[in-house]
Chain A
Amino acid sequence: MIPPNLILFGLFALVCGAVLLFLMKKRLNARQASTSIRHLREPGAGQQIIFEHARTAYVLVDTEFQVVTFNHRAASFTKAIFGKELIEDTYAMDYFPEERKQPVKDMLTKAFSGIESGYETEYVNDEGHAMWYDVKIYSTSTSEKTAGAIIAVRDITEKKSMELQRESMTAELIQHNRNLEQFAYIVSHNLRAPLANIIGLAEVLSMPELSDDQTQDFINGITTSSRKLDEVIIDLDHILHFRNSDYEKKVEVNLDQLLENIQAVLRDVINASSIRILSDFNEVPCVYGIKSYMHSIFYNLVSNSIKYKQEDKELVIEIKSRKSKEGTELTFKDNGLGIDLNRAGDKIFGLYKRFHPDIEGKGMGLFMTKTQVEKLGGRISVESTPGEGATFKIQLL
């Protein structure tokens, strides 16, 4: 039999234990909560953290176009793009560059009545990098009384640069494909032309009414056409072989030395007529490239200038190198015949394209020059006024 006071004591102890446990647990909970972020579940607290840490910049603007509030990212974007401190209760339009003010204002006005709009834009940031932003402007509320607008700005530079890279790659591929089509067309035409002559000449040679002179004439025609055909095949072999040759190493090419070599090769031609070659390679004395390509580019451009000089005028060729945005720019300027680019257009660099029918030539030089410049990762362009001369510009990386 257990005495009743013992039962009482036992009960008392149990109650005390429970109370103690309850108190301890409560303290423990409180301590845990202070080291976690659960308190952010309380109204407003968590949203504030998310808002402040968002990768997207948010600016809230009221119907008077005043800045109501903004997050941390918005402040840093404003600093980086516009070089301004973003401050509450200021006129939002003041932050934008002149040409953007009206369009943004219009979009905000539209947003106040519930219409969302947006645009993508490019800015140069304070470090001089081009940055792309996606801007969305939309309403905060459907009720007229509380109407305001949110300007949300997202940095899309990485996505955009990949997009631009993809676009330029596509454009390059399209151009490459066009070149190949052009090449196939030329092959078909320039191989068939002499062949057609040989077939035609063979047919008339079997006709009975031919005189001896005519027979000889047509046989000569066959010889000429066969040679022409062979020449085209050799050219094609040359081009195809060249296109597949990547074995040559890039080296430092001294431009003064290169030009000296070219002048030595062309000495007889240069001495025969009045030609002056002026060069200035002080800004960029050397370029990094494949030596034989550089030689061929210089040779073709200089000999072209000589070939298409004005008969009664001293030819002056000015060759310069200078630093450019992309690397090095070489210019070849002459005061020769020039070329009507409205007519010639981009065909000027085409294979077997010729624009001065009276002057001997094959239509290979500028085609090879362009191919070689592109092989070196560069670009070539031309400006010209007929009768005044031509300027070729080469951009090398």
Chain B
Amino acid sequence: MTRTVTRFILVDDDPIHLKLSTFQIGSLSKSISICSFLQAEKALDHIRSIYDKEANTQGITIIMLNINMDGLSGWDFLEVYETFRKDWRDRIDLFFVSASIDPNDMKKAHSNPNVKDYLIKPLNRSDFINLIGNISIK
């Protein structure tokens, strides 16, 4: 079964990173919708609102979540995310994105079943091609 990525949700408190990622994804596909959030709380609210409405839509959402954020961190986001209904999470691939090359963060992320992978900034074009084309990394 092929899985098609239909949406990106970007969560990062760095506006330049959001701008860059949005541009990279947009340059690869015009049909994928992209929502970006500077604050984790707002992204969580958004996810709740869309999944309530579109219970049966197909397609995969990719969440790119920064770990080190003011306010709610990526880990805090993950804690809330884990309480979401399983049928929502089945249609979401969540990736951690960080500039940190701290091995503890990576280990912790890799051991969490809800985190698909740990991506280290900077992300280049081929990283995004991989995300869109081959989402089943794990």
Query: Roughly how many angstroms separate A218 CA and B123 CA in the complex, as a whole number?
Result: 15
- A189: B residues at CB distance < 8 A: 68, 98-100, 102
Encoded as 1 (CB less than 8 Å from any B CB) or 0, chain A from 337 to 361 comes to 0000001000000000111110000
Encoded as 1 (CB less than 8 Å from any A CB) or 0, chain B from 99 to 138 comes to 1111000000000000000000111110000000000000
Q: Which of A164-207 contact B (CB under 8 A)?
A: 185, 188-189, 192-193, 195-197, 199-201, 203-204, 207
Contact present for B99 and A357 (CB under 8 Å)? no
Considering residues A207, A355, A357, which has the most beta carbons from chain B within 10 angstroms of its beta carbon? A357
Contact present for B121 and A185 (CB under 8 Å)? no
- B99: A residues at CB distance < 8 A: 189, 192-193, 195-196
Name the contact of B71 in the complex, choosing from A188, A204, A221, A355 (C-beta under 8 A): A355
Q: Which of A289-315 contact B (CB under 8 A)?
A: none
- A221: B residues at CB distance < 8 A: 16, 19-20
Q: Does A214 contact B (CB under 8 A)?
A: yes
Name the contact of A188 in the complex, choosing from B14, B27, B100, B122 (C-beta under 8 A): B100
Q: Does A388 contact B (CB under 8 A)?
A: no
- On chain A, the number of residues with a Cβ less than 8 Å from chain B's Cβ atoms is 28
Given A204-B24, A355-B71, A357-B70, residue A199 in contact with residue B102 (CB < 8 A): no
Interface of B is mostly: loop
Contact present for B125 and A225 (CB under 8 Å)? no
Contact present for A200 and B98 (CB under 8 Å)? no
Q: Does A217 contact B (CB under 8 A)?
A: yes
Q: Does A274 contact B (CB under 8 A)?
A: no
Query: Roughly how many angstroms separate A284 CA and B22 CA in the complex, as a whole number?
Result: 58
Contact present for B20 and A200 (CB under 8 Å)? yes
- A225: B residues at CB distance < 8 A: 16
Contact present for B70 and A355 (CB under 8 Å)? yes
Contact present for A209 and B125 (CB under 8 Å)? no
Tell me how far the C-beta of B114 lies from the nearest C-beta in chain A, rounded to whole angstroms: 21
Contact present for A200 and B124 (CB under 8 Å)? yes
- B101: A residues at CB distance < 8 A: 188, 192
Which residue of the partner chain A has the closest CB to B12? A193
Contact present for B98 and A217 (CB under 8 Å)? no
Considering residues B16, B24, B121, which has the most beta carbons from chain A within 10 angstroms of its beta carbon? B16
Interface size class for chain B? 20 to 34
Tell me how far the C-beta of B34 lies from the nearest C-beta in chain A, rounded to whole angstroms: 15
Tell me how far the C-beta of B43 lies from the nearest C-beta in chain A, rounded to whole angstroms: 13
Contact present for B122 and A196 (CB under 8 Å)? yes
Which residue of the partner chain B has the closest CB to A185? B102
Tell me how far the C-beta of A217 lies from the nearest C-beta in chain B, rounded to whole angstroms: 7
Given A197-B20, A354-B70, A357-B71, residue A203 in contact with residue B122 (CB < 8 A): yes
Name the contact of A357 in the complex, choosing from B14, B23, B39, B98 (C-beta under 8 A): B39
Q: Does B7 contact A (CB under 8 A)?
A: no
Considering residues A185, A193, A199, A356, which has the most beta carbons from chain B within 10 angstroms of its beta carbon? A193
Tell me how far the C-beta of A361 lies from the nearest C-beta in chain B, rounded to whole angstroms: 9
- A254: B residues at CB distance < 8 A: none
Q: Does B89 contact A (CB under 8 A)?
A: no
Given A192-B121, A200-B123, A207-B27, residue A217 in contact with residue B71 (CB < 8 A): no
Query: Roughly how many angstroms separate A188 CA and B103 CA in the complex, as a whole number?
Result: 11
Query: Roughly how many angstroms separate A192 CA and B123 CA in the complex, as a whole number?
Result: 13
- B91: A residues at CB distance < 8 A: none
Query: Roughly how many angstroms separate A200 CA and B125 CA in the complex, as a whole number?
Result: 9
Tell me how far the C-beta of A360 lies from the nearest C-beta in chain B, rounded to whole angstroms: 11
- 13 A-B pairs in the complex with CB atoms less than 8 angstroms apart: A189-B68, A192-B100, A192-B121, A193-B68, A196-B122, A197-B16, A197-B20, A221-B16, A221-B19, A225-B16, A354-B71, A357-B13, A357-B70
List 18 additional contacts besides A199-B122, A221-B20; criterion CB under 8 Å: A188-B101, A189-B99, A192-B99, A192-B101, A192-B121, A193-B14, A195-B99, A196-B17, A196-B122, A197-B16, A203-B122, A204-B23, A204-B24, A218-B20, A221-B19, A225-B16, A355-B70, A363-B70
Contact surface of B with A, Cβ cutoff 8 Å: 13-14, 16-17, 19-20, 23-24, 27, 38-39, 68-71, 76, 98-102, 121-125
8 nearest A-B residue pairs (beta carbon): A196-B121, A192-B99, A354-B70, A200-B122, A196-B122, A193-B99, A189-B100, A199-B122
